[in-house]
Structure 1
Amino acid sequence: MGLRERKKAATREAVHKAALNLAVEHGFEHLTVEAIADAAGISRRTFSNYFTAKEDAVLWGEEQHIKALVLAFRARPPHEGPWQALAGAVLDRFPTEEPPDRETAIRSRLALRHPTLLARQLANHAVLETDLREAITDRGGLTPLEAGCLGAAFLASIRLAMQRWVAGDEADDPRELIMETMGAMAGVFG
């Protein structure tokens, strides 16, 4: 990555962190694009080069995590069934030695409390659901409809596990909660 790309990535990260910090300090309902831009040391116009709205700035890291999960799924051994490969991708992406991500907890908590943020989060998941459906279909053995159902169930299991994690004051291991939720889904749909 060249210098320009690194600077853009650093600016995007600074804007995202400013948005999260301000949302925690003052409440999401009081968060403005102008306040985020000021806190990140950029202009309102520069903000719009990186994000279309305050919701995007707050949720930015979540999309990266899910895209990385899709890549981890694609890298799983071909002999694994799709649900097993999805579970393996979670284990690959969230090693036990890493502490739980505070930003993930903040984003999840904010989305649960603010309908506009939850709506944006669900819209982001719908786009990522398409990527996941394609990855599952490419693996073979399932029709696009079946792959779409599986991808939707997987993303729902992550969302439910994150809600449980946040509701439990983040005391549990989010990875274990995801595995438990995926196990419950497999049992229901088994």
Structure 2
Amino acid sequence: MMMKQSLRDIKREATASALAEAAFALARERGLGGFVVEDVVQRAGYSRRTFANHYACKEEAVAMAALTFGDVDEAEVLNIPPSTAPLDALYRWMRMQFTAGLLWKMRELMSLAKEHPTLEPYMLSVLHRLQTGAQEALSELFKDRYPEGYYHILIGAVFGAVVPILDGSLPVSLPGHAAAEASEATPFDQYLDTVFGYLRHGF
């Protein structure tokens, strides 16, 4: 059962978010090799010791900026009819979690990771956390009505379809794209509907 966060946990998350946002902003401005941890803590207004309490290195902080938009409200996911199919619940979770802000930030981070391979392990960690969030939401909603492996298959298939649009492998336009830039690309919402359509009806 989900527990309400304490004030201490909320403050800790706010600090981690501020440090991650500062690191991400510096990475965008200067490139990953153009700043050090000291620059991050100065911009965020915290000490180096505080940074060390949250992150092992600047790469981890940069990657974790993808999660500072706030996790999806699991309570909202859970507030759906119990007869809802797991695939429909996952669709709802994806639409709430993958906001325009998160998608754009993930794409920028993927681009940075191509230039700086030291960032890649931390990007994989971020993706894993997002997948774990989906897993926990479905498990909480459906309890043991379905085999545990069933959720892993669904979530793995959906995330496997999302990664290529984040790394630029597929021509899918993210929300907020100018019409001229997106004219040859499939809109993200349409692409997501196509993915779930395949999962519902087959290929």
Fold similarity call, TM over 0.5: yes
Aligned residues: 185
133, 136, 150: which one aligns with 2:135? 133
Deviations 1:111-152 (A, max 9, x none): 344333222121333355345334434515431122212222
CA distance in 2, matches of 1:25, 1:110: 12
AA partner of residue 91 (structure 2): A
Deviation at 1:48, TM superposition (A): 1.1
Distance 1:72 1:157 in 2: 24
> Which structure shows the higher helix fraction?
1
Seen in structure 2, the aligned counterparts of structure 1 residues 66 and 115 have a Cα distance that, compared at 3 Å, is farther
Structure 2 counterpart of 1:123: 125
Q: What pairs with 1:1-190 in structure 2 (closer than 5 Å)? A: 8-63=12-67, 67-68=71-72, 72-93=76-97, 100-101=100-101, 102-138=104-140, 139=142, 140-164=144-168, 170=174, 171=177, 173-184=187-198, 186=199
Change in Cα spacing, 1:113 to 1:69, as seen in structure 2 (3 Å) is: farther
8 Å Cα contact 2:89/2:138 also seen in 1: no
- Give the stretch that moved more between structures: 106-115 or 139-148: 106-115
Q: Give the CA deviation at 1:72.
A: 4.9
TM-score (normalizing by structure 1)? 0.71
Gaps of 5+ in 2: none
Deviations 1:77-112 (A, max 9, x none): 3222211211122334467xxxx3153443343234
Conservation of the 8 A alpha-carbon contact between 2:17 and 2:68: no
| Runs of 5+ consecutive residues of structure 1 not aligned to the other structure | none
Share of identical aligned residues, percent?
25
State the AA in 1 paired with 2:111: R
AA aligned to 1:47 is F
